[in-house]
Amino acid sequence: MKRITIKEIAQQAQVSVGTVDRVLHNRGEVAAATRSKVLEIAKEGNYQVNVVARNLKLNKVYKLAIVIPQDNEYWKDQKKGMEKALDEYSSFGLKATFYTVNRQVHNGLSEAVDLALKKEPDGMVLAPLEKDNFGLLHALANKVPFVLIDASVQDVKPLATIAQNSFNAGVLAAKLLHFGWQNNRKAIILRTMGTDGLNKTIDERMEGFKSYYDNMGWDRSLVVEKLCAVEQGGMVKPCKLEANNLYFVPNSRANEYVSFFSNTDTYRMVGFDLTNSNHFQLKKDSIDFIIDQAPEEQGYLSIQCFYKYWISKVEIEPIHEMPLQIFTKENLQG
Amino acid sequence: MKRITIKEIAQQAQVSVGTVDRVLHNRGEVAAATRSKVLEIAKEGNYQVNVVARNLKLNKVYKLAIVIPQDNEYWKDQKKGMEKALDEYSSFGLKATFYTVNRQVHNGLSEAVDLALKKEPDGMVLAPLEKDNFGLLHALANKVPFVLIDASVQDVKPLATIAQNSFNAGVLAAKLLHFGWQNNRKAIILRTMGTDGLNKTIDERMEGFKSYYDNMGWDRSLVVEKLCAVEQGGMVKPCKLEANNLYFVPNSRANEYVSFFSNTDTYRMVGFDLTNSNHFQLKKDSIDFIIDQAPEEQGYLSIQCFYKYWISKVEIEPIHEMPLQIFTKENLQG
DNA sequence: GAATAAACCGTGTTCGTTAACGATAAGTTC
DNA sequence: GAACTTATCGTTAACGAACACGGTTTATTC
């Protein structure tokens, strides 16, 4: 359908574009009769703002602050998606600055946010990885519009939340781990010492995992948690893993545990995040399933939110639940 | 990084914007010295065209012809994604007309394409569902840029192809069907009489499925094809299905077969496309896995291709292989 | 040396929208 | 009736890029 312009509206209504603009933007100072006449013609002619013209005129620069952890592979992919979007939208004046969160300290996120706020950004993208971020985010809400990625926070109203449902992810992991096998098999959750403890996503996945047993009427004592140490190099310290069992790795390190088995061992393992290492082990069939969070897409979407909010002024889905993407040897790409 | 404008380039180079424009667009008529000076400053200042300004000036209308089958659920979702994109890009002058392919006749696609071409579109999106479309598409290539969705065609160079690898999808189906069970179980491919025969995607899925047996060193005779009739209403005609077997439904009708089992039967079933009916049966655990093609996203991406091609003039990935998305009871949304 | 061609470059307009700035007329106050 | 206020509306200059058009040099030809 053809779209009318304000110039055409002005002609038809016998007024100037200035008046049409005042009507369309409720800037007041317009006689009721004129107003309704303009609105009538606008509706008749299917008027929609020309996003291109508006943004050329406004020619604004929107400063975005992006607050994410230091680069592991997952966050590199997130960043990659963001940069792709930023590049695509660069003509619209979207500019971003990245701020790094130190995950080793308790208030790492808070510190990074404070630093970012000093530059007075127009918007913020951040990942609420730690627990108890309600206060921080509640305070933030009055200062700047923000988008949450990777995890959600209760009772906070961001522009949008882009994340997976970690609880459901845990449930899914349990299903995949047990699928087709007898039910009374022992399942072992492999946790990693250190940052895992601060990360609520891991907790939620484990809760979901265990809830599967409740729903199936199985005994929760079938599930055992094993906490593994980390060596100097950052890799998991070798330990003994029993064959014929089910292994659930609620973080992205499934690939590190694979080498602790001998070649003849049979086991089943489900992990998270399609990192290169996990990809490699999946391809070798050493990991059975990986549940991926599509980090690159998350990153892209987070920036797109602000494009929609500032530029195209389209409605934003407040909660974008990322699908629980299942990968196995046969549906890897590349 | 800040971006310089042609006006600023003109100032710095002591020439007019007209000259700068001639240099940047290789429109000739510029002295070599001036030319290199302008290019120097442009590079220095990180010049990139302002997409917004360019398209406002050009103010073109791009006519897109979209040629897809009549609305079943899968194509409705494709269309939904397209319309979302068309809406988003409407300010940039993207307009589309939909043309319906009659799948009942052999040259349905060709007829629809001819009809579409009469309106002299600037681009085309089409789904090469039938076999042997090489001639049609080869001829089309000289007339108008086009994007293929849902399936690919060998030796044809579209702007982009957006589709799943159906062969791999079949392989994945076989894996999921056998996962965790003993290997010597009989597998039954449930085919539907009628349109399936014309659809190459179905064939490719079946080939992939069978190739899994070869790769595993299993006997192909474990796989049996069963061709099922369709009733007046369009639903599959009830037939007897054996319990304790594996069922592969290479089209989207898995849900229709479910009712042919009794409540006490155990079986495993893998099908395609997360339609409402399949969603329902997955939720009831009557289907084990559905491999989805993300039709809405495919539709969205097909339109986005032309936005990239005409408007933002960004490079286009010539082959966009849609991920093989696995759905099971536990990762359904909504 | 005058005419003509060729090479080179600036000007002006356009796209649709925004919003500051005036302009006008009618009404109000002393 | 002079001085203001208020309500209402028009005018205009951007924003950055594209390109037609015309203008000004320089080179070439007879």
* Phi and psi torsions of B90, nearest 5°: -60, -35
Strand C nucleotides, any atom under 7 Å to a protein CB: 7-12, 14-21
A6 touches strand C (CB under 7 A): yes
Average pLDDT over residues B86-101: 92
CB contact under 8 A, A333 and B323: yes
- In this prediction, residue A132 carries a pLDDT of 77
- In this prediction, residue B183 carries a pLDDT of 64
CB contact under 8 A, B331 and A331: no
CB B173 within 8 A of CB B248: yes
CB contact under 8 A, A55 and B50: no
In chain A, what are the domains? 6-49 (1.10.260.40), 60-164+294-322 (3.40.50.2300), 166-292 (3.40.50.2300)
Residue written as tokens 């985010």? A137
Range name among B70-74, B143-147, B176-180, B247-251 with the lowest pLDDT average: B70-74
Instruction: For B288-304, write each residue's pLDDT tens digit.
Output: 999 999 999 999 999 99
Name the residue facing B326 among A56, A88, A331 (closest C-beta).
A331
Name the residue facing B171 among A52, A268, A330 (closest C-beta).
A330
- In this prediction, residue A79 carries a pLDDT of 97
- In this prediction, residue A133 carries a pLDDT of 80
- In this prediction, residue A182 carries a pLDDT of 67
B-chain residues near A3 (CB < 8 A) = 90
Instruction: For B207-263, write each residue's pLDDT tens digit.
Output: 999 999 999 989 888 899 999 988 887 888 888 888 889 999 999 999 999 989 888
CB contact under 8 A, B333 and A323: yes
Q: Chain A residue with minimal CA distance to B292?
A: A325
B-chain residues near A180 (CB < 8 A) = 179-181, 268
| Per-position b or e across B180-189, b if 16+ CB within 10 A of its CB | eeeeeeebbb
- In this prediction, residue A197 carries a pLDDT of 65
Name the residue facing B91 among A51, A176, A333 (closest C-beta).
A51
CB B320 within 8 A of CB B161: yes
Q: Chain A residue with minimal CA distance to B175?
A: A330
CA distance A288 to A282: 6
- In this prediction, residue B124 carries a pLDDT of 97
3-state secondary structure chain A: CCCCCHHHHHHHHCCCHHHHHHHHCCCCCCCHHHHHHHHHHHHHCCCCCCHHHHHHHHCCCEEEEEEEECCCHHHHHHHHHHHHHHHHCHHHCEEEEEEEECCCCCCHHHHHHHHHHCCCCCEEEECCCCCCCHHHHHHHHCCCCEEEECCCCCCCCCCEEEECCHHHHHHHHHHHHHCCCCCCCCEEEEEECCHHHHCHHHHHHHHHHHHHHHHHCCCHHHEEEEEECECCCCCECCCCCCCCCEEECCCCCHHHHHCCCCCCCCCEEEEECCCHHHHHHHHCCCCCEEEECCHHHHHHHHHHHHHHHHHHCCCCCCEEECCCEEECHHHCCC
- In this prediction, residue A12 carries a pLDDT of 87
pLDDT at position B121 over 90: yes
pLDDT at position B197 over 70: no
Name the residue facing A331 among B90, B172, B181 (closest C-beta).
B172
Which positions 45-74 on chain B have a beta carbon less than 7 angstroms from any atom of strand D? 47, 49-50, 53-54, 56-58
CB contact under 8 A, A53 and B53: no
How many Cβ atoms from other residues are within 10 Å of residue B179's Cβ?
20
Name the residue facing B324 among A3, A312, A331 (closest C-beta).
A331
Q: Chain B residue with minimal CA distance to A324?
A: B331
What pTM was estimated for this model as a whole? Answer: 0.92
- In this prediction, residue A33 carries a pLDDT of 85
Mutate to test the interface with B, among A91, A297, A316 (most CBs of B within 10 A): A91
pLDDT one digit per residue (tens) for chain A, 334 residues: 778 899 989 888 888 888 999 888 888 777 888 888 888 888 888 888 899 999 999 898 999 999 999 878 999 999 999 999 999 898 899 999 999 998 878 888 999 999 999 999 999 999 998 877 888 899 999 999 999 999 999 889 899 999 999 999 999 999 999 998 766 788 999 999 876 666 889 999 999 999 999 999 898 888 999 999 888 878 888 888 888 899 999 999 999 999 898 888 889 999 999 999 999 999 999 999 999 999 999 999 999 999 999 999 889 999 999 999 999 999 999 7
B5 — contact with chain A (CB < 8 Å)? no
Give me chain B's average pLDDT, please.
Answer: 91
* Smallest Cα distance from A279 to chain B, Å: 14
* Smallest Cα distance from A139 to chain B, Å: 30
B-chain residues near A171 (CB < 8 A) = 330
- In this prediction, residue A196 carries a pLDDT of 66
- In this prediction, residue A195 carries a pLDDT of 67
CB contact under 8 A, B331 and A326: yes
Ramachandran class of B180: left when φ > 0, alpha when ψ lies in -120 to 50, beta otherwise: left
Q: Which of residues 302-331 of A touch B (CB under 8 A)?
A: 312, 314, 321, 323-326, 328-331
CB contact under 8 A, A324 and B312: no
Instruction: For B51-74, write each residue's pLDDT tens digit.
Output: 999 999 988 899 999 999 987 899
Strand D nucleotides, any atom under 7 Å to a protein CB: 7-12, 14-21
- In this prediction, residue A234 carries a pLDDT of 81
CB contact under 8 A, A314 and B91: no
Contacts by residues A182-185 (CB-CB < 8 Å, ≥ 24 positions apart)? A183/A216, A183/A218, A184/A218, A184/A222, A185/A222, A185/A244, A185/A245, A185/A246
